[in-house]
Amino acid sequence: MSARRWLAEPQTRKGALITLLVVVVALLGPWLAPHGSTDMVGPVYGAPAGDAWLGYDFLGHDVLSRLLSGGLSVLWMSVAAASIALAVGTTLGLLAGLSRRRLDQFITWSADVSLAFPDLILVLLIVSMLGRAPWLIVLTVSIAFIPGVIRLTRASAVAVAGQEFVEAAQMMGYSRRRILFKEILPNILTPLLVHFGNMLTWGVGMLSGLSFLGYGVAPPTADWGLMINENQAGLLVQPWAVLAPAVLIGVFAYGTNILAEGIGRSSARLGDRQA
């Protein structure tokens, strides 16, 4: 019933549509690409022409083909990173929110310490030490996200835990797990989902940033972030090679953001009518 309620909000529909558009491009792109993503088919930084709408890049690849093939990696990695962060962070945050002092203090303190550390620096540090395998990058990005999820979950859980229906459940003698996952979690799902949308956006940004800095996906694989990095030298000669992937990243970020906001709005509207 939640999904239907969310879709009733125009904002959600708009966000979902935009996000879906980028996802479809990334998913179907490889099949639609006129050339292979690593085929050198034209002049270096060649301008757009009849058969290459977006021109050629620094090695003479067709920009459109690389664009169509390069979305998948950044999308799956950001979705994976955000999902891991959500699962781990929510569990830890719920535990912290409902437990006695010491565990709460430990979890919150650890989260605070890592929050004080700039995300990108943390990721760069880990990647440069341990290597750049995709799963490792996903893991490190999710580690950077976890503290935020913990803080959000804990704060929301504490607010809900003070309400009488949670006390009623405690008085009935329901198990702690049941109280955490059945009474509290459903009531804090909305801020968490909104946060998930934000993490997707940040994830795409961070992954592209990593590629741009040369720590992400290794060349010659096609990747939106990597494309921006590779072609920056020719920005003035052939701007499309940089602009096109940047625009798609931006559109995806915009879409997930709107989607998250729409979900938040539709739930806020259905929030309790207080007397």
| Residues found near other proteins in the complex (CB under 8 A) | 163-165, 167-168, 170-174, 182-183, 186-187, 189, 270-275
7 vs 160, beta carbon nearer other proteins: 160
38 vs 187, beta carbon nearer other proteins: 187
Q: Would you say 51 and 34 are in contact if contact means Cβ atoms under 8 Å apart? A: yes
136 vs 159, beta carbon nearer other proteins: 159
78 vs 156, beta carbon nearer other proteins: 156
Residue with tokens 């003479």: 60
The DSSP letter of residue 183 is I
Q: Would you say 52 and 212 are in contact if contact means Cβ atoms under 8 Å apart? A: no
Q: Would you say 18 and 269 are in contact if contact means Cβ atoms under 8 Å apart? A: no
- CB of 268 vs other proteins, minimal distance in Å: 12
- What the block records as the tokens of 261 is 């906001």
- CB of 270 vs other proteins, minimal distance in Å: 6
51 vs 167, beta carbon nearer other proteins: 167
The three-point CA angle 193-251-35 to 5° equals: 120
209 vs 264, beta carbon nearer other proteins: 264
- What the block records as the tokens of 55 is 């021109």
CB neighbour burial string for 229-241, b if at least 16 within 10 angstroms, e if fewer = bbbeebeeebebb
* Helical axes 185-213 vs 119-130, angle rounded to 10°: 60
The DSSP letter of residue 60 is S
- CB of 164 vs other proteins, minimal distance in Å: 4
- CB of 3 vs other proteins, minimal distance in Å: 14
- CB of 187 vs other proteins, minimal distance in Å: 6
- What the block records as the tokens of 214 is 């040369």
- CB of 241 vs other proteins, minimal distance in Å: 48
